[in-house]
Chains A and B, each alone.
Chain A
Amino acid sequence: MGFECAKNNAILSKLATNEEHGENSPYFDGWKAYDNDPFHPLKNPNGVIQMGLAENQLCFDLIEEWIKRNPKASICSNEGIKSFKAIANFQDYHGLPEFRRAIAKFMEKTRGGRVRFDPERVVMAGGATGANESIIFCLADPGDAFLVPSPYYPAFNRDLRWRTGVQLIPIHCESSNNFQITAKAVKEAYENAQKSNIKVKGLILTNPSNPLGTTLDKHTLKSLLNFTNQHNLHLVCDEIYAATVFDMPQFVSIAEILEDNEMSHCNKDLVHIVYSLSKDMGLPGFRIGIIYSFNDAVVSCARKMSSFGLVSTQTQHFLAAMLNDEKFVVNYLAESARRLANRHKHFTNGLEEVGITCLKNNAGLFCWMDLRKLLRDSTFDSEMSLWRVIINDVKLNVSPGSSFDCQEPGWFRVCFANMDDGTVDIALARIRRFVGVKKSGDESNAMEKKQQWKKNNLRLSFSKRMYDESVLSPLSSPIPHSPLVR
């Protein structure tokens, strides 16, 4: 029979057809650019250098050395195979007891031993991604809202909102006070929500901050905790960058604040920590997300939900062994902080040499670069134009502040811990050339230099969409709106 089949459209869910996963945001465009033309020191030295991914690749050697000394940590080695059966078969969502203990211990160590963590409160999740989503599922209903200081991690839009149906209300922070969270701003955001009849269920902090790379001081933490406590709001502290603090001041966890005598009036049932090993230890592939709640009902609920994203027992077993090795952990944390400090210094010095300043920061795997001076005008359009130039011409994938919901144009997050020293220098050289070209007041000189620079440097291999046409033909069409013009 040859009749035509009239196919009905398969009707999918609203989740599948809305854009709330946020993956069509510009934040991901840089990634795509990189994917099309990734830098490689030998194979593709003119490719795009990935500086948009907050990864910590500085200390793999330490872990590799440990692994060689501890073959039992793997269920696949001769020494460890006898554990294989039990481990492969274990699916209890409480997790391996030794894993929970190891995580609790590690969390203590990354907070300088100033607080204790209870292994019974350690709940697994599918990476920090899963942990953030699960905690929202536990605390809020669709339509409820969470306050979030901005600029903030772009994927919060997916992790906190997409399947949960919760809204995010930004608390805007400004460069005028170094992007600090002020009580005034928090109060304002909260009151505006109230006026719009939006039910605020909580506040989520990222401390240390992504993208700022700064830590919250005790005073601010206390003030925020007082605020949430007073209004009976949940306080979720995403502390996944805790061990990336490489400089003073020391990291202060919300767990410490809770133990402070001054804060004994606060309801612990409202406080929850999200943690992960992706940043502190550079193990994003292992998907180790942790929810640590001071609220028993939340621990219980999150644990049930953890079935949707448990950590592979192969990985639990491995980490339990490694993190229970206290000597290793202490040494690792100290060395990791040292290397991060060095890398940070090297990079920010390099930027300063060409007049680019960053927000002063003591943590994170990135810096918050101030490129306001390079904007044609103080608009997000200019920011986007500048960004395209940086990707296409300078060939660095950095992340524009607008993708973090930053309210001021001109800020960019640059990651520096996911590459080796050689690549850092190449990145700095490219930036130097880019700014150097811009700096020479003589336009034609700049154009000449640009030709030279282009000849030395970059072949453009992107789809036109990414490409700002005006920059391509500098001689024939001087562009009054070029982002390069001061």
Chain B
Amino acid sequence: MGSETSGNSNNKSVVVLSKLATNEQHGENSPYFDGWKAYDNDSFHLVNNPNGVIQMGLAENQLSVDLVEEWIMRNPNASICTNEGIESFRRIVNFQDYHGLPEFTTAIAKYLGKTRQGKVKFDPKRVVMAGGATGANETLIFCLADPGDAFLVPSPYYPGFNRDLRWRTGIQLLPISCTSSNNFKITIEAVQEAYQNAQQANINVKGLILTNPSNPLGTMLDRDTLKKLLTFTSQHNIHLVCDEIYAATVFDAPQFISIAEIIDDDEIRNHCINKDLVHIVSSLSKDMGFPGFRVGIVYSFNDDVVNCARKMSSFGLVSTQTQHLLASMLSDGEFVEEFLIESVKRLRKRHEKFTNGLEEVGIKCLKGNAGLYCWMDLRPMLKEPTFDAEMSLWKLIINDVKLNVSPGSSFNCPEAGWFRVCFANIDDQTVEIALARIRMFVDANNNVNENGVVKNKQQWKKNKLRLNFSNGKYDENAMNMMSPNSPIPISPLVRARN
């Protein structure tokens, strides 16, 4: 007989949680996060842990914080905690209107205009807050689609979309594959195909979400493509969501083109574009390097969506302490302009330094002019063009080269061998160290003989790395490589020979 209870025995019934709590749809068990965990276990520090894993998997912008710090020192009343600012304390701390502080939404609208070189004007009344871009993306989907509906998304795409767009909303994501054959450009044919396939499968497509500039590619959409995509979505009466959070990370020509500009384009206006279908997601996390402040923005050209998103913003408003600080900072037009110019300059320099360093060892990246990362082509290093080979290579890079980079498969990339490497979240010295490690790795790789044994590996290892991981993270093949007496014919380091 079952259930006997006595005193304090633990005869508990099974606790039932929601489906959301028990499915894996949050996506946090994807390999994307494994690299983070590796980094957490053995974090690089210039002084304290010089052999640790260097974090190159996090798209952060830490290059220009000093400019912000200087501004803050010059503007003490931007803070409600300084002597100069304390008189605003009680008003700010008590303000919970989901319209946001008027000065905040005004400043954000101004900022959005500036990051698009003043080519469009943004209306503060359409600025709606959200809990970071994470919250903004989710909120828009909640406004536009029902559970079971689908959104098209060009791939490779940001892995967090699986959680942000799908998890609690219940929608599906249909990738539009982009490949290296045309530099991962989005073609209207590919979009049409994806859309038609969905129709045939009786899937209700509600919209298309673009990330422009692209994560992970670091490229921008040109005017022609944007127009075509806008026309397509309008014709099919589906929404167009443009995640433009990397807008101000464009460091090289051509200039960034926002969907907001395209809408105003004369040619477009004659083509019956329905503005009610167009929505922008923005954030300060990438452009300004404030991910901790959770400033997400939903900007919609559709009044009903603005209203709905605003009601939903109650679930993730920006702290008024932060609204107040940023209202002050971003309404300082002179500062914003100087910041944007300098920030872009530093990004370009860092990008150049890094990609040059890679080229010196024969590693190419997709040519990009934006973002905080590059899209590295390591296909030549794959033993075979498979995702298994990509994963093996990735484990090697984490465990041996000790760089946390992100494998293309975690971005849903249709081709194996591409990796996203972030370079704007580390200082110059660390960049040098990262490049040195890569150089050594590539040299070692080049020294692989026909039997798949690495020459001089002992030397390389002596110079470099102690492996500090639990075996769980350790690729056995790499382990075997350590003992050159056991040549492994299937090592991922063996260059593919034609």
Contact = CB atoms under 8 A, between A and B. Distances in A.
A151 B9 CA distance: 38
A7 B73 contact: no
B292 A137 contact: no
B83 A68 contact: yes
B90 A1 contact: no
A133 B312 CA distance: 11
A301 interface: yes
Interface string A307-338: 11111111100100000000000000000000
Contacts of B163: 304, 307
Contact of A12 (B81, B94, B144, B285): B144
Interface stretch (A284-292, A340-348, A452-460): A284-292
Contacts of B65: 84-85, 88-89
Nearest to A288: B319
B93 A60 contact: yes
A150 interface: no
Interface in B71-98: 72-73, 76, 78-79, 81-83, 85-86, 89-90, 92-96
A7 B76 CA distance: 50
B18 interface: yes
B72 A81 contact: yes
Contacts, number: 255
Interface string A33-71: 000000000000000000000010100100110011001
A284 B112 CA distance: 27
Contact of B12 (A1, A7, A267, A308): A267
Interface residues of B, number: 82
A88 B144 CA distance: 31
Given A286-B93, A301-B17, A312-B293, A126 B315 contact: yes
Interface in B149-165: 149, 163-164
A16 B305 contact: yes
Contacts of A395: none
B49 to A, nearest CB: 17
Most chain A beta carbons < 10 A, residue from B15, B79, B276, B319: B319
A286 B291 contact: no
Interface residues of A, number: 83
Interface string A124-151: 0011011001000111111010000000
A255 interface: no
Contacts of B359: none
B142 A314 contact: no
B206 A11 contact: yes
Contact of B325 (A21, A139, A301, A314): A314
A6 B82 CA distance: 56
A130 B315 CA distance: 4
Nearest first, the 3 A-B pairs at minimum CB distance are A313-B292, A285-B320, A74-B81
Interface of A: 1, 5-17, 21, 23, 55, 57, 60, 63-64, 67-68, 71, 73-74, 76-78, 81, 84-85, 87-91, 126-127, 129-130, 133, 137-142, 144, 158-159, 163, 201, 232, 234, 264-265, 267, 269-270, 278, 282-287, 295, 297-298, 301, 304-305, 307-315, 318
Interface of B: 8, 12-22, 26, 28, 60, 62, 65, 68-69, 72-73, 76, 78-79, 81-83, 85-86, 89-90, 92-96, 131-132, 134-135, 138, 142-147, 149, 163-164, 168, 206, 237, 239, 270, 272, 274, 276-277, 285, 289-294, 302, 304-305, 308, 311-312, 314-322, 325
Given A77-B82, A126-B315, 5 more contacts: A74-B81, A76-B81, A127-B96, A284-B95, A285-B320
